[in-house]
Amino acid sequence: MDLGDMALQIVILGIIVSIGATVLIGVRDTSDSGTIAYNVSDDAASGLGEYGNWFSIIIIVSIAAVILALIFSAFGGKGSTGATY
């Protein structure tokens, strides 16, 4: 498990979300109010805004998963290899 790859993926995801939100807001602002393009871009921009609110929680859970995986691998890995009763 490489922490550098996870950090790079989080940065790329943040860049994609911010660029996507900027493009969607630009489409929304250039569309006429009430058209399909306005409604779709407004809903998508709202969705990306909600995703942005959860972004810090997603990062915390990802880091916790990596830490737990490192702890479990340090104390024996995937399960016990003892005899079954």
pLDDT tens for residues 1-32? 567 888 888 889 888 888 888 888 888 888 88
Q: Residue 33's CB: how many other CB atoms inside 10 A?
A: 8
Tell me: pLDDT of 80 over 60.
no
- Of the candidates 21, 15, 74, the one whose C-alpha atom is nearest the C-alpha of residue 45 is 21
Structure tokens at 13: 């995801």
Mean pLDDT of the chain: 82
Which ranges of 2-35 does DSSP label H, i.e. alpha helix? 3-30
Residue 47 pLDDT grade (very low, low, confident, very high; cuts 50, 70, 90):
confident
Q: Alpha-carbon Rg of the chain, whole angstroms?
A: 21
Q: Which H or E run includes 46?
A: helix 36-74
Amino acid at 36: I
Provide the pLDDT for residue 7: 83
